[in-house]
Amino acid sequence: MEGAKTVYLLKLGELTLKGGNRADFEQILKRNLRDLLRGSRASLETTHGRYYVRCLSEGEAQVEDALNHLMGISGWAKTRIAEKAIEAVCAACVSEAKTLFEGGVRSFKINARRTDKSFPMDSYNIACRAGDAVTEALPELQVDVRHPQGTIAVEIRERAYIYGFGHKGGGGLPVGTAGRGMLLLSGGIDSPVAGYMMASRGMKIDAVYFHAYPYTSEEARQKAIDLAGIVGRFSLGIRLYTVGYTELQMRIKECAPEAWATVLLRMAMMEGAERIAKIRRSKCLITGESLSQVASQTVENITCTQSRLRIPVLRPLIGMHKDAIIRKAEEIGTYETSILPYQDCCVLFSPPHPILRGDPAEANRLYDSLDLDELIEKAVRESVVERCGFPGNGHVC
Measuring CA to CA, which residue among 229, 114, 221 is closest to residue 161? 114
Report the partner that residue 184 touches, choosing among ligand ATP, Mg ion, none (CB closer than 5 to 8 A by kind): ligand ATP
The phi and psi torsions of 151 (rounded to 5 degrees) equal -125, 135
Report the partner that residue 282 touches, choosing among Mg ion, ligand ATP, none (CB closer than 5 to 8 A by kind): none
Binding residues for ligand ATP (CB under 6 A)? 184-186, 188-191, 208-210, 269, 287-289, 293-294, 296-297, 344-345
Report the partner that residue 375 touches, choosing among ligand ATP, Mg ion, none (CB closer than 5 to 8 A by kind): none
Distance CA 305, CA 271 (A): 9
Cis? peptide before 214, omega within 30° of 0: yes
Report the partner that residue 105 touches, choosing among ligand ATP, Mg ion, none (CB closer than 5 to 8 A by kind): none
Q: How many alpha carbons fall within 13 Å on the CB side of residue 242?
A: 21
Query: Least distance to Mg ion from the beta carbon of 59, Å?
Result: 39
Distance CA 49, CA 248 (A): 54
Q: Which residue lies nearer to Mg ion by CB, 186 or 337?
A: 186
Q: Which residue lies nearer to ligand ATP by CB, 97 or 184?
A: 184
The phi and psi torsions of 39 (rounded to 5 degrees) equal 90, -5
Helix (H, G, I), strand (E, B) or coil at 22: helix
Q: Are 171 and 73 in contact (CB under 8 A)?
A: yes
Query: Least distance to ligand ATP from the beta carbon of 29, Å?
Result: 28
Q: Find the length of the chain.
A: 397
Q: Which residue lies nearer to ligand ATP by CB, 33 or 220?
A: 220
Q: Which residue lies nearer to Mg ion by CB, 59 or 188?
A: 188
Q: Which residue lies nearer to ligand ATP by CB, 25 or 210?
A: 210
Please report the DSSP string for 90-108 in residue order.
Answer: HHHHHHHHHHHHHTT--EE
Q: Are 276 and 377 in contact (CB under 8 A)?
A: no
The phi and psi torsions of 10 (rounded to 5 degrees) equal -105, 145
Measuring CA to CA, which residue among 37, 33, 43, 35 is closest to residue 13? 33
Query: Least distance to Mg ion from the beta carbon of 191, Å?
Result: 7
Distance CA 12, CA 26 (A): 9
Report the partner that residue 287 touches, choosing among Mg ion, ligand ATP, none (CB closer than 5 to 8 A by kind): ligand ATP
Measuring CA to CA, which residue among 245, 241, 237, 238 is closest to residue 208? 241
Query: Least distance to Mg ion from the beta carbon of 384, Å?
Result: 20
Report the partner that residue 181 touches, choosing among Mg ion, ligand ATP, none (CB closer than 5 to 8 A by kind): none
Residues forming a β-bridge with 388: 238
Report the partner that residue 25 touches, choosing among Mg ion, ligand ATP, none (CB closer than 5 to 8 A by kind): none
Q: Which residue lies nearer to ligand ATP by CB, 3 or 341?
A: 341
Binding residues for Mg ion (CB under 5 A)? 186, 188
Query: Least distance to Mg ion from the beta carbon of 324, Å?
Result: 18
Query: Least distance to Mg ion from the beta carbon of 186, Å?
Result: 4
Q: Which residue lies nearer to ligand ATP by CB, 155 or 274?
A: 274
Query: Least distance to ligand ATP from the beta carbon of 230, Å?
Result: 14
